[in-house]
Amino acid sequence: MPILEIKNLNARYGEQIVLENISFDLEKGDTLAVVGPNGSGKTTLLRAILGAVRHTGEVNLSQGTRIGYVPQKIDLERDLPITVKEFLILRGRAVPEGALKAVDLAPSFLDKRIGELSSGELQRVLIAWAIIGHPDLLLCDEPTASVDMAGQKTVYELLHKLQDEHKLALILISHDLTVVYRYADKVLCLNRKQVCFGVPDEVLTPTELAKLYGGDRKFYHHAHS
């Protein structure tokens, strides 16, 4: 049984249709990349899986599945008088050294204030927050959106390492097709409706990308390993 199965998912905000007739499944340990233009329903899809937005259709999780969520950004005041340790303890009662170690941050970061962190360090703390509950499925909404170019590869490699170590299923929203080809087992193309779903090399054809982003753009398939 898949860890996640979506059947005929529909969502709207008021009269505006945001998602229409979305269906796909995800196996344990797989990575699904979700791609599409701004406003195509990618974040709404994650919110529907979390049960945070009203929808019709089915969102079926295998029994006992725990979900972790890494938001695109978090609105924290940079002068907020809270340390990393205090922030992570809000997620669970245990002292969170293990979560920091998992995201390659030294124990000394526990005593740093949130406002002292770089964008890349803050993103690692958010990932640590998400994995404290030992999730089986990790949802990542553009996890490098606020990270500089130098740190983006590191964040994706960290997520890949966590996935291997903990056998996580991963749903990853990304605008970077290089990331999709390198890390994803499957790709879901959204533009409110489901444009394509399958193995990236097979479904991300110029024709499907033109449907997704518009016919006036050119796309290049870079070599990757």
Q: What is the pLDDT of residues 176-197, one digit of tens each?
A: 888 899 999 999 999 999 999 9
d(CA 2, CA 170): 13
CATH C-level class of 4-213: alpha beta
pLDDT at position 225: 43
Q: What is the pLDDT of residues 65-124, one digit of tens each?
A: 999 999 876 666 666 789 999 989 888 766 667 889 999 999 999 999 988 888 888 889
Ordered strands of the 67-70 beta sheet: 56-61, 4-13, 16-26, 193-198, 186-191, 31-35, 169-173, 137-141, 67-70
What pTM did the predictor assign? 0.89
Type of residue numbered 115 = G
Using the predicted structure, report yes or no on whether residue 218 has a pLDDT greater than 50: no
Domain ranges of the chain: 4-213
Type of residue numbered 194 = Q
The residue-averaged pLDDT of 157-175 equals 92
Residues of the chain above pLDDT 90, percent: 58
Using the predicted structure, report yes or no on whether residue 60 has a pLDDT greater than 90: yes
d(CA 207, CA 142): 25
Q: What is the pLDDT of residues 106-118, one digit of tens each?
A: 999 999 998 888 8
pLDDT at position 222: 44
